[in-house]
Structure 1
Amino acid sequence: MNSSQPHRIVFANEKGGTGKSTTAVHVAIALAYQGARVAAIDLDPRQRTFYRYLENRAETLRRRGVDLPMARFDVYDGTSTDELDHLAESLSAEHDFLLFDTPGRDDPLARHVATTADTLVTPMNDSFVDFDLIGQVDAESFKVKRLSFYAELIWETRKKRAMATIRDQRREMDWVVVRNRTGHVEARNMTRIEQALAELSKRVGFRTSHGLSERVIYRELFPSGLTLLDKGHLGELGTSHLVARQELRSLIAALNLPMPAGAQQPARRIAAG
């Protein structure tokens, strides 16, 4: 992988409460555990959940005197896409992956980075409230009626990127809709959502993957900044925590990210920034 052009992963959903930041943090640390050099930008300067999570992690590592895989991270609190691109370029140097965690609302910077993604990850809860972000369904048949503005934006971007792939040697965009918290969904409703997602994916070309269930452990880990992968630092784990760890591993495999040469080796430690 060319270190000057890291693989861009954008976590984007214009609706909050979908587990977006939690998913982004765990993916970032999972990549670091595999030996990848990871940098990240939080685009929500008000909540800065992603930034605070890794800030807490850095403090825990200092306090405990331990060395665990880490990502370089920053938060962007401006409004200029040019300034954001400059920050992204400066963080890209010598990194294999550049992650963006975007706000859970309509945001021009979030839309901007979404169009630059190599892998676009859209976490959603299994409900038609969340499904409405990407498409609208008929109230009686639950058939997809139309794409949302957001889905049309990504669809047009993917078409342009596909045409430019050979000419400019750009990567094609891989759009993955990640279904979080599926364990609390009634079976009939889950089937309807699965059918609607399958229909819509044929139109706009995204893939679907199961993500992270709603588990208390994710909220418990935030103050320490630790993740489910930090074995030996979490204390005794219950069965549900072990299941959650397997969910995370399955998600990482499903994202099918291009690992750099030398991955799977002990992770290179990256100082927080």
Structure 2
Amino acid sequence: MTDPTVIVVGNEKGGAGKSTLAIHIACGLLHAGKTVSIIDLDLRQRSMAKFFANRAAWMAGNDQTLLMPFEPDLGDGKALARADEAEQLARFDAAFAEARAVADFILIDTPGGDTVLSRTAHGLADQIVTPMNDSFVDFDLLGHIDPVTLDLLKPSIYSESVWEARKHRAVTEGRAAAIDWIVVVNRMAVAAARNRQRLEERMEKLARRVGFRMGPGLRDRVIYRELFPFGLTVADLSNEIRPVQVSLAHVAARQELRNLMQALGLDGGSMNAPLDEAA
């Protein structure tokens, strides 16, 4: 078996939708026929782990079969968060080895902060996906701007940490461009705004300077949140699996997920199960 592709979803701010993005990428890959391992390093929240636990419970309660990833056991997340760095790294190394042995892809969700596990995961990444909200508040996680002119001043600490991860890969593995970094504007409002145009202009400049590419994110849709308790995504919906009333918005959200997968260079998969609004 060839080495799996490691995808790390990360930034150092909370509330940008990292877990939502990670969940949807994982399910998109599953629907593409890939074997997927997941590691949730947000040890206190464990949103991705909770999602797939909900999925298993929903299947059992509704006599349905859905695609599932493999999740190595990290133990009690809150206890591990209180452990020293040596123990955290040992547990992560063991989990990563398990994940690596069984999957085509390893999907790692990271916390909204700088931790030893997050830095280690970034150093292992083949692809880093960084979501940010449609706001200059979140732009600060990538670069600092002049408050008067909005000119780009310098990259942020997180941008520098990705650069360090790239340098580490280049030194240890001789792969100068091993990490593909994609920034997606997540939770966009549906309506366009002048602020977004200014934001995109600065992002394009920063992308050229620090070496990421831009991709489409997921809009701020109720659809993504309402399916979470069932452990489902829009990729899972069909005429047989529909715990909520399906509308045209669900169809649009599924296309949004396809666009995201394509921008990441990943197979959008089947996601073609019949989804008749009137069914």
Q: Tell me which amino acid in the other structure corresponds to 2:231.
A: G
Aligned with 2:164 (options 129, 148, 156): 156
| Structure 1 residue 195, shift from structure 2 partner | 0.9
Q: Distance in 2 between matches of 1:222 and 1:265?
A: 21
| Structure 1 residue 265, shift from structure 2 partner | 8.3
TM-score (norm 1): 0.87
Q: Distance in 1 between matches of 2:207 and 2:216?
A: 15
| Superposed CA offset, 1:89-123 (max 9, x none) | 11211210011111122322112211211010111
- Higher RCO, Cα 8 Å, sep 6+: 1
Partner of residue 67, structure 1 = 65
Partner of residue 179, structure 2 = 173
Aligned with 2:207 (options 193, 201, 207): 201
Q: Tell me which amino acid in the other structure corresponds to 1:138.
A: D
Q: Does 1:210 align with 2:219?
A: no
Pair 44,251 (structure 1): closer, same or farther in 2 beyond 3 Å = same
Q: Does 1:222 align with 2:228?
A: yes
| Structure 1 residue 236, shift from structure 2 partner | 3.8
Q: Tell me which amino acid in the other structure corresponds to 1:8.
A: V
Q: Distance in 2 between matches of 1:74 and 1:93?
A: 11
| Structure 1 residue 171, shift from structure 2 partner | 7.3
Residue-pair matches, total = 258
Q: Distance in 2 between matches of 1:47 and 1:146?
A: 32
Taking only aligned residues, the RMSD between alpha carbons, in angstroms, comes to 2.2
Q: Distance in 2 between matches of 1:123 and 1:67?
A: 30
Q: Distance in 2 between matches of 1:149 and 1:37?
A: 34
Q: Distance in 2 between matches of 1:34 and 1:196?
A: 34
Q: Distance in 2 between matches of 1:22 and 1:75?
A: 21
Q: Does 1:111 align with 2:115?
A: no
| Superposed CA offset, 1:59-102 (max 9, x none) | 11111121111111246333422321221111211210011111
TM-score (norm 2): 0.86
Partner of residue 137, structure 1 = 145
- Unaligned segments of structure 1, at least 5 residues: 267-273
Partner of residue 182, structure 1 = 188
Q: Tell me which amino acid in the other structure corresponds to 1:154.
A: V
Contact 2:123 2:168 in 1 (8 A): no
Partner of residue 243, structure 1 = 252
Q: Distance in 1 between matches of 2:235 and 2:192?
A: 30
Q: Does 1:254 align with 2:260?
A: no
Q: Distance in 2 between matches of 1:156 and 1:106?
A: 14
Partner of residue 274, structure 2 = none
Q: Tell me which amino acid in the other structure corresponds to 1:227.
A: T
Q: Distance in 1 between matches of 2:192 and 2:257?
A: 23
Contact 1:11 1:121 in 2 (8 A): yes
Q: Does 1:96 align with 2:96?
A: no
- Unaligned segments of structure 2, at least 5 residues: 272-279
Q: Distance in 1 between matches of 2:28 and 2:65?
A: 15
| Superposed CA offset, 1:9-29 (max 9, x none) | 111121111111011111101
Q: Distance in 1 between matches of 2:215 and 2:189?
A: 14
Aligned sequence identity (%): 43
| Superposed CA offset, 1:164-219 (max 9, x none) | 55x4x797100010111222576211111111111111111101111100111111
